[in-house]
Structure formats: C-alpha cells, structure tokens
Amino acid sequence: MLRSKRHLAVAACSGIALILAGCSGGSTVDDDVAGDGAKAPTKVSAGYVSAIDQIGLPAGVEAGYFEDQNLNVKLADPYPTGVDALNALQAGQVDFVQVGTPAIAATQKGIDLALVGNYTGSASRRSIDDTVAVVASGNSGIDGKDLKTLRGKRIGVSEGSINHLYLLGLLEKAGLKTSDVKIVNTEPPDMAVALKTGGIDVAIVWDPFPITITQQVDGAKEVLRGGEYIPFVGYIVTTAKYAEEHPDVVQRFLTARATTDQWMRENPDKAADAATRWLPGIKKAVALEAMKHNVKQLDPRFSACNYLALDTLARLLAAQGGVKAGFDVNEHFRPGPILKVMADDAKLFRDLPEMPATAKIKDGYTFDRTAAEKACPS
C-alpha cells in the first residue's frame, strides 16, 4: 500500500512546480523513529544525470526499493552532465552520483573517488555499447556496414565523453585516423539542430538522442548501433572517505540499485514509464524504444571485465590527450560492498549472463591487464 501511495504522489508532483517538500524528488520516508521502536531510516543524498541509462536511481526511489533498505534518499535535480554531478559530489552536496568516463579526469584533478558499483556496463564481457548509435543525415553517404565512409565527414560528439570514445573505436576498426575526419564538439541536445543545418554530417550519441534526432531531422537515419566497439561504462560513485566511513550504507544503497535494475530488466515498459516522470521532456514512445537497449547494459556486478573496461577507455582518452597517461584503475575501484551484495543476494543477478570463472574477483583484487584480457571475452 505504501509503495502504491508513493507512485501516486510522484505522478502528482511530475505535473506541477516542485514547490512542496515532498515533491523534490527525494524519498517520502518519515525520518522519525517508528512507534514500534524501529531504527530511523539513514538519510542519503544522491544525484543522477538526465539520461535514460541513469533512470534506475530515481525509479528505485519511486518504487520504494531504497526504503526497503531503510534508506531515506533525497534526490538532487538531474544534472546536465557527469562533470556537474562530480562537482556536486566534491562540494559535499550529494553522497552518491552516477558517472562514467568523466571520473577519469576528475581523479587526475585530485577528487578521491570510489567506484562502488555499475549503473551500466557488463561484468561478463569486454565490450558493450548498445545504448550508443550513429545517426547520419540523408545525404551524408555514410554506410554503417562500411565504416570507411566516415572519411572526410564532420562528426558531432561530446569530446571526452563516451560517444567520443565510441567514434575512436569506429575509426580504429575502419583503419582511419582522427585526422581523417572532422570532429565537431557538440552537446547531445544541440545535435539535431547541427545535423539539420549542416554543421555536422553525423551525430554519435547515447539514448534517447539517436531516437529523437531521427524524429526531428528530415532524412536522418540511424545507420549503426552498438557493435561492441568499446566498453560502455557507468559507475555508482562516492568519495573514498564516505565509502570508508559508511560501508553498510554503501552496501544497502547497492542492494537497492541491484533490486531496481532487476525490476527494470524484467519490466522495461514500466521502467520507460518511470523515465517519463523523471527525465524532463522525454515522451513515452521514445522512452520505450530507448529502454529496449538500456536494459541490455543493466549489470551492477563487478568483475575483472569492469576494470578492463575503464582501463581501456583511459588509454583511449590518454592517446588523444584528453587525460594523462598512467591512470591506475586499482586506486579507485572499491569492490567489497558490491561483492558482498552479490554473495548475500545472488537472486538479484540470476537473470544476468554468467561471468567467466577467470573474471570473477575477490575483495582486494589487483587488476592485471594481460590476465583480464584473457578472462573477458570480446
């Protein structure tokens, strides 16, 4: 009954100005000790980026899965980028955020991050990228089956982000260099206009933007999706200090997220419906299409493959001068809490692909690239 009431409350809040305390996006759990002497919920603040692959956090709050772990989660308004989310974490405005490749540069700037779980990626194989796609204008001449047709084209990506790295993966596969194309730094919300006005010939971006761009630009079409060109990564992140001081909270937080992820994998239509309430401006049809791809990457587990994924992307970025070389993934992963969730609540992961035995890790694992490459299938 309580969970049903929360759904109604959130639905009511989504259509009006968020001026009431209960409609801020945070948990509706009462912070007082219950009359039966139960322990008061632990207050936690968390943030997410306004993207379909990050919907698990607000969807889990809405569904009551964090409350089930005795957590009172207050959600920040959605951030436009992972960099903004990390800035909020560093400023102490939130305890947890969800972020991918921007975490690499952030650690090199002195932010002591702890990667405690996944919100998107794969613990069973080396590369997964189903939520990113290539959208080309009608007269671009780009053929997704012949990547050499990218030569000489103006390609819109967000420099330093995962779509930029996907382009690098495509170029490597095609035997092309970055000098063979014109990279145009373009934020996802601006890509449709850039494609329509001829500023770019092709947009490479994550969902839901490939879907909305094809709807907004006459003649535009999705010519390629996924293909395992790169490992798509996204981590649940806190500070090293918070992870050290609150291991039980981290574990409960990850349990709630793993529960949410399984629910989303089993109910993609309902997850898409939740996205329309938490992601500004997204339409139900778009959310439904995007969620079909998103659920393929909902794997909260950690294995050697996750370390390999981040190391691979750090090397790609360093080769382009985006970050310094020598990024050590061992310094930032904190696998203990999620490994405990995996052991204590194995049922939350039973529908996921089996991890290779040699890719399974224990707390205290030290990443070795050669061994990880052998352990993780491509």
From first to last of the 378 residues of the chain, give the pLDDT tens digit. Answer: 334 334 433 433 433 233 223 333 333 334 445 556 678 999 999 999 988 999 999 999 999 999 999 999 999 999 988 999 999 999 999 999 999 989 999 999 999 999 999 999 999 999 999 999 999 999 999 999 999 999 999 999 998 888 999 999 999 999 999 999 999 999 999 999 999 999 999 999 999 999 999 999 999 999 999 999 999 999 999 999 999 999 999 999 999 999 999 999 999 999 999 999 999 889 999 999 999 999 999 999 999 999 999 999 999 989 888 889 999 999 999 999 999 999 999 999 999 999 999 999 999 999 999 999 999 998
Give the C-alpha separation, 97 to 44, whole Å.
Answer: 11
pLDDT of residue 33: 55
Same fold, 2-126+232-375 and 132-225: yes
pLDDT of residue 203: 98
Among 176, 168, 188, smallest CA distance to 312 is for 168
Phi then psi for residue 165, to 5 deg, are -70, -35
pLDDT of residue 280: 87
pLDDT of residue 22: 35
For 132-225, which CATH superfamily applies?
Periplasmic binding protein-like II (3.40.190.10)
Q: Structure tokens of 90?
A: 């560093």
CA 146 remoteness from chain centre: 29
186 and 203 Cβ atoms separated by less than 8 Å: yes
pLDDT of residue 74: 98
pLDDT of residue 15: 36
Q: What angle do CA 77, 241, 33 make, to 5 degrees?
A: 65
Task: Render 325-362 in DSSP notation, one character per residue.
Answer: S---GGGTB--HHHHHHHHH-GGGGTTSPPPPGGG---
* Per-domain residue ranges of the chain: 2-126+232-375, 132-225
Give CATH for domain 2-126+232-375: 3.40.190.10
Give the C-alpha separation, 195 to 188, whole Å.
Answer: 11
Q: Structure tokens of 210?
A: 């490939």
